[in-house]
Structure 1
Amino acid sequence: MVDILRLSPVISAYPDDESENLEIEVILPGVEKKNITFKITRRFLCKSYQRRS
């Protein structure tokens, strides 16, 4: 049997210095930046990615 290592994303959100915008930082272990896509609307946040081989 093969052990599976599951890694959780790390997500941080905080206001900018003027409190006008929300800064969002996301760390997806095992995923390269070029393989990440985000879509943000007023009601919805969607992320998709492909893991490294």
Structure 2
Amino acid sequence: MASTTSGDSLPTGSKIFSTIPDVFFIPEFVMSYVATLLYFIHAIFSAIRWRRS
């Protein structure tokens, strides 16, 4: 059930990055993108190498 008090409003703008978990939010997405990209590059080159052998 939703709270009717206005004291627990969501932060906006630069206030989003006011707590430690929120600071790591964007780097989390960047690192997951890089890890996924590296995985697919590895899988593609491994398949090419396997096919040539």
> Does the alignment reach a TM-score above 0.5?
no
Report which structure shows greater RCO (CA 8 Å, sep ≥6): 1
- Identify, as 1 or 2, the structure richer in strand: 1
Structure with higher Rg: it is: 2
- Identify, as 1 or 2, the structure richer in helix: 2
